[in-house]
């Protein structure tokens, strides 16, 4: 990112931070000032809004932080077992999206990848979050891994709303949310996929997707297999 892009990015992010913060403050003030006048159902509703908005803030802040740390050199790329990163984060989603099913199809004896583990976790978090968020209750999200030549292929497949052909060009643009009935009823900043693509490419990987409107979407991420020589060359350079 150039300095100009960074300024614009920060300005927009600050704006996106304000909305959930205002909501958290508003509902906290209402609860504090009118506690005795609000019935239990409404108290619960307001606290749930505070929780949802806090989650939204955390998601946004994590994404922004991962971009700001993106310019590190090749020595941050380490030996990573992508299967264990996926296994580690899945419980967070089964907890958050209790009405979706999560299925893992992880290849046995998968080679290590050469990645920054935190960033890979952020990539997976964004893709699995979208897969669950843009699917109806009862649908299944499948995460699979497999070797693919000198790369490792990770697929995040959903049975959700899908993406219209005319929206294909917008999907990785920053702050773009597409029009579908789930986008209007869910929270999001339109930042996840923009950041995901940057992170994948920064780590010498590739990201693509396949989608059918009304049937579902699959995101495909390819990352390099860990290679001893490459790692040595990098350590000599830095």
Ligand X SMILES: Nc1ncnc2c1ncn2[C@@H]1O[C@H](COP(=O)(O)OP(=O)(O)OP(=O)(O)O)[C@@H](O)[C@H]1O
**Residue numbers of the site for ligand X (CB under 6 A)?**
59, 126, 130-131, 134, 158, 160-163, 171, 176-178, 180, 183, 188-194, 217
What minimum distance in Å lies between the beta carbon of 94 and ligand X? 18
- Residue 216 near Mg ion by CB under 5 A: no
**CA gap 188, 126 in Å, rounded:** 11
- Residue 160 near Mg ion by CB under 5 A: no
What minimum distance in Å lies between the beta carbon of 133 and ligand X? 6
Buried-state track 19-44, b at ≥16 Cβ within 10 A, e below 16: ebeebbeebeeeeeeeeeeeeeeeee
What minimum distance in Å lies between the beta carbon of 161 and ligand X? 5
Instruction: Determine if residue 95 is left, alpha or beta; phi over 0 gives left, psi from -120 to 50 gives alpha, anything else beta.
Output: alpha
Closer to Mg ion at the Cβ: 85 or 123? 123
In the chain, % helix, strand, coil (3-state, to 5) comes to: 55, 20, 25
Torsion angle in degrees (nearest 10) through CA of 103, 105, 110, 116? -30
What minimum distance in Å lies between the beta carbon of 198 and ligand X? 11
**Residues 77 and 70: beta-carbon distance below 8 Å:** no
What minimum distance in Å lies between the beta carbon of 196 and Mg ion? 8
Q: Please identify which residue in 160, 192, 205, 216 interacts with Mg ion, judged by CB under 5 A.
A: 192
Q: Which does 178 bind (CB under 5 to 8 A by kind): Mg ion, ligand X, none?
A: ligand X
**CA gap 198, 84 in Å, rounded:** 22
- Residue 130 near Mg ion by CB under 5 A: yes
Return the range that interacts with Mg ion (CB under 5 A); candidates 7-15, 34-42, 89-97, 192-200: 192-200
Rule CB under 5 A: which residues touch Mg ion? 130, 192
């Amino acid at each position: 990112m150039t300095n100009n892009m960074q300024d614009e990015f920060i300005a927009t992010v600050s704006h996106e931070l304000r909305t959930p913060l205002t909501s958290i403050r508003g509902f906290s003030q209402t609860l504090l000032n009118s506690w005795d006048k609000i019935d239990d159902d409404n108290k619960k509703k307001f606290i749930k809004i505070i929780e949802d908005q806090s989650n939204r803030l955390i998601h946004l802040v994590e994404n922004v932080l991962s971009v700001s740390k993106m310019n590190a050199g090749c020595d941050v790329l380490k030996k990573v077992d992508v299967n264990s990163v996926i296994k580690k984060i899945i419980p967070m989603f089964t907890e958050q999206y209790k009405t979706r099913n999560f299925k893992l199809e992880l290849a046995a004896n998968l080679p290590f990848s050469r990645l920054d583990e935190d960033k890979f976790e952020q990539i997976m978090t964004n893709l699995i979050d979208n897969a669950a968020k843009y699917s109806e209750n009862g649908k299944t999200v499948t995460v699979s891994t497999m070797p693919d030549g000198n790369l490792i292929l990770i697929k995040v497949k959903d049975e959700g709303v899908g993406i219209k052909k005319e929206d294909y060009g917008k999907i990785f643009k920053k702050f773009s949310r597409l029009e579908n009935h789930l986008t209007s009823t869910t929270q999001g900043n339109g930042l996840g996929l923009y950041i995901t693509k940057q992170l994948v490419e920064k780590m010498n990987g590739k990201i693509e997707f396949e989608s059918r409107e009304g049937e579902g979407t699959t995101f495909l991420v390819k990352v390099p297999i860990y290679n001893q020589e490459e790692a040595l060359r990098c350590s000599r350079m830095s």
